[in-house]
Chain A
Amino acid sequence: MEAGARAERNLGTGLPAWALGLIPLLLIVGAIGSFALLGGPGLGERTGPPVEEVAVERTVLRPGEIELTLRNDGPDPVEVAQVAVNDAYAPFATEGGREIGRLGSATLNVSYPWIEGEAIEIFVLTSAGGTVEASIPVAAETPENDVSFFALMALLGIYVGVIPVSLGMLWLPFLRRLGPAWMGALIAFTVGLLAFLAIDAGLEGLELAAEAPAAFGGAALVLAGGLAAYLALAGVDAYLSERSRRAKGAGAGATSGAYLALLVAIGIGLHNLAEGLAIGSAYASGALALGAFLVVGFAIHNTTEGLAIVAPLRDDARPSLGRLLGFGLIAGAPAVLGAWIGAAAFDPSLVALLFGVGVGAIARVIVQIAPVMRDEQGRLLYPATVIGILAGMAVMYLTGLLVSV
């Protein structure tokens, strides 16, 4: 009967299914094409002058020179006419012309004897008389992207990522000595840490998105990145548990501590990638000075991330050292990668997206490990877990004070 109905429908048009799918597509292309060719019949001329929206994506300071990277964020092409630094017109050169098409970018090399330690205010004057402003709060030479610089960024990533996370994992023997009643509270502590990281990263991502060209999505990038990461991790999780159920028979499938620890490590790793990007770009633009205080601050802050990774391992058989090191690298090493990317090619849109990815990953990890908090009655929230969550958030907040303003 079903087959009969289908045949009847096909008889109505006499066309194969692929053609029915193709025809609307062709009509859409044709309609849009002719609309564009005819210049939007009936819409008339635009009202008002062209809208100029330009974002300054990156500034680089070299002796006697300021390099600006501009991104045209608006609907109309923009032509750069002149550049003034601290209220003085300055000569500049561009590669590839002065006109910037929609979503295009241009790099201006401005000759100006800037003075270290002073603030720099720049305005770019467009051919329509509009201004694009950029400010550098404290002028300092931007480091060159050479080998030693990348080595420095790697060292920075190891200092703030790999080492502290690994150090945090040293709490594992201590955790194993705690009674089984502590398990729920420990996982709750991890959930608290992660929740605070997610909130913090989400807000930072939104802050960055506000500076990024709106045409690339802005705040939507953070949300989309978060959703994509959440879904991707959920998909990977479903795939892996399906495989393990097949391998071990129908009875298996209960999530193991090592598996949860891996998930936490991945979530924290994605978060540290975004952190590394922000640190690398801050350093590259001279907004960040490396100091013992900073490294110590990050060490304490990220040590707690190590604790979060090993908490689910409390009830497992003794994990191998290699596996623990692997968790440490998964969680910490992305900071190195992030620092490289951030220092070499900072792009606020990309970093906002990655912050969103970190948030989504953490959210998925929280959902994944939260069931372990359940007590005999199946409750998620009871005094021990509530205190654990609050303690986790408090620790993140307090250690965060060391590395944030």
Chain B
Amino acid sequence: MSKSSAQKGISRRKLLGGAALAAPAVAGLTAFGRGSDRAVAETAASNGAHAGHGEFPHATFAAGRTVDHKANGFHPTELLRDFDYGRTRRLASGRVLREWEIVAQDKEIEVAPGVKYEAWTYNGRVPGPTLRAQEGELLRIHFVNASAHPHTMHFHGFHPALMDGMPGIGENRGGGQVEPGEEFTYEFDASPFGLHLYHCHVAPLAAHIARGLYGAFIIDPKQGRPDADEMVMVMNGFDTNFDLANEVYAVNTVGFHYVDDPIRVARDELVRIYLVNVLEYDPINSFHIHGNFFEYFPTGTSLEPTEFTDTVIQGQAQRGILDLRFPYDGDYMFHAHVSEFAELGWTGFFRVGDPSKLTASAAAAMYCDLPWGKGSPA
């Protein structure tokens, strides 16, 4: 990487500069696209060298290229509502035993169109599978380390020290740090109910988390929660040049994914977001929704919300459950209200409509006359 600019070379001469000669810059904040997704995509493609001149409705990636989700092996839109319940059987005691197989593996993933990142993953995806159980069950997680590096699974929740996934604790009993090619089975009770997370705890910790070794861990209360359209959002980021600062921010890994592919939800239906912050290198992250408010259940450990708001802040490993309904049709942005993160990828849209008409093309036809309704960024 070379730091350079034409300006530096002639900095000696800028002493007398300052009195600028230029006409005021014109920020083209009008001229939004209209029409269906396809028409807009064609426009973007045919714009050629002049794509986007005078158009900057919001930060976005360059047109004409999308992330190859097939090569990634996971799709953020599907991952959103993908809850991994594992497999269960009833023990002699009548108690439910729930089991998962988790494999740590190194994998190159595309975190922004054209930008590859050497990730470390659980089950080949980032974030790892959303493990979901019910309060009081016995949980067994068979962990296999197929990565070239030592890893663990460290769960947030109640468990004995041996099950903590903490290097230096329990190696003599097969636990602690799991070396490449080795495996370990974590076993503990599902407790307390709420929204938690798991991540690798091997040193250097920041690197092991930032590389992608984390996932959401949901323990449902015995009495359950009201029926809702549920989804998981793991707020993360990627330090692609390894300078201990993130270049790409996102929910569920791919920057601006839900701008390109808005999350379809039905008007008036209860929507529940399991929101987890795992962002490394930045002290806080946040979530803000446009045109709406939500009930907030910090850590999900109570069935009573503590706040009715449209913005929450989370430090790393903080998490909470958001319950909301969209009273109007249309597209509603959601993003980190740390504007820097929002403009570096952590922005998306909800597309709200009549549930019966909520196919992608129908929604596009109905709602695409909104400013950002471009289907793909222009």
A64 and B8 in contact (CB under 8 A), knowing A123-B247, A140-B20? no
Min CB distance, B74 to chain A, in Å? 19
Q: Are B23 and A87 in contact (CB under 8 A)?
A: no
Interface flags for A45-56 (1: CB within 8 Å of B; 0: not) read 000000011111
| B17 contact from A59, A61, A134, A288, Cβ within 8 A | A288
A289 and B20 in contact (CB under 8 A), knowing A63-B26, A64-B54, A113-B56? yes
8 Å CB interface, A286-319 against B: 286-291, 293-294, 297
Min CB distance, A205 to chain B, in Å? 10
Min CB distance, A284 to chain B, in Å? 9
Q: Are A289 and B240 in contact (CB under 8 A)?
A: no
Q: Are B14 and A114 in contact (CB under 8 A)?
A: no
Let me know if A58 is at the binding interface, CB within 8 A: yes
- Bound complex: CA A293 to CA B18 (Å): 13
Q: Are B256 and A89 in contact (CB under 8 A)?
A: yes
- Which A residue sits closest to B240, measured CB to CB? A129
A88 and B247 in contact (CB under 8 A), knowing A61-B22, A282-B10? no
Q: Are B6 and A346 in contact (CB under 8 A)?
A: yes
Contacts of B86 in A (CB 8 A): none
Q: Are B49 and A93 in contact (CB under 8 A)?
A: yes
Interface flags for B43-80 (1: CB within 8 Å of A; 0: not) read 00001111111111001111100000000000000000
Let me know if A98 is at the binding interface, CB within 8 A: yes
8 Å CB interface, A44-87 against B: 52-59, 61, 63-65, 73-74, 79-84, 87
- Bound complex: CA A115 to CA B377 (Å): 22
8 Å CB interface, A135-154 against B: 135-143
- Bound complex: CA A83 to CA B112 (Å): 11
- Bound complex: CA A288 to CA B21 (Å): 9
Q: Are B116 and A130 in contact (CB under 8 A)?
A: no
Q: Are A286 and B13 in contact (CB under 8 A)?
A: no
Let me know if A351 is at the binding interface, CB within 8 A: yes
Contacts of A90 in B (CB 8 A): 52, 56, 59-60, 62
- Which A residue sits closest to B8, measured CB to CB? A211
Q: Are A211 and B22 in contact (CB under 8 A)?
A: no
Let me know if B3 is at the binding interface, CB within 8 A: yes
Q: Are A138 and B20 in contact (CB under 8 A)?
A: yes
Contacts of B378 in A (CB 8 A): 91
Min CB distance, B48 to chain A, in Å? 6
Q: Are A81 and B10 in contact (CB under 8 A)?
A: no
Q: Are A82 and B9 in contact (CB under 8 A)?
A: no
Contacts of B54 in A (CB 8 A): 63-64, 111
Q: Are B21 and A56 in contact (CB under 8 A)?
A: no
Contacts of B50 in A (CB 8 A): 93, 109
Which candidate, B143-151, B340-348, B357-365, is the interface stretch facing chain A?
B340-348
Let me know if A132 is at the binding interface, CB within 8 A: yes
Interface flags for B235-270 (1: CB within 8 Å of A; 0: not) read 000101111000110000001100000000000000
Chain B CB within 10 A, most for which of A61, A73, A89: A89
A289 and B18 in contact (CB under 8 A), knowing A65-B53, A91-B63, A127-B115? yes
Min CB distance, A160 to chain B, in Å? 11
Let me know if A131 is at the binding interface, CB within 8 A: yes
Let me know if A182 is at the binding interface, CB within 8 A: no
- Which B residue sits closest to A98, measured CB to CB? B114
Min CB distance, A296 to chain B, in Å? 11
Q: Are B247 and A56 in contact (CB under 8 A)?
A: no
Contacts of A137 in B (CB 8 A): 7, 11, 14
Interface flags for A356-391 (1: CB within 8 Å of B; 0: not) read 000000000000000000000000000000000000
Let me know if A117 is at the binding interface, CB within 8 A: yes
Contacts of B18 in A (CB 8 A): 138, 289
A140 and B9 in contact (CB under 8 A), knowing A82-B114, A89-B59? no
Contacts of A278 in B (CB 8 A): 10, 12-13
Interface flags for A105-130 (1: CB within 8 Å of B; 0: not) read 00001011111110000010111111
Let me know if A237 is at the binding interface, CB within 8 A: no
CB pairs A–B below 8 angstroms (7 shown): A125-B240, A127-B116, A214-B2, A287-B11, A287-B14, A405-B11, A405-B12
Give the interface of A toward B (CB within 8 A): 52-59, 61, 63-65, 73-74, 79-84, 87-95, 98, 109, 111-117, 123, 125-143, 204, 207-208, 211-214, 278-279, 281-282, 285-291, 293-294, 297, 346, 348, 351, 403-405
Which 7 pairs across A and B sit closest by C-beta, in order of nearness?
A129-B240, A113-B27, A141-B22, A88-B343, A81-B114, A405-B15, A111-B52
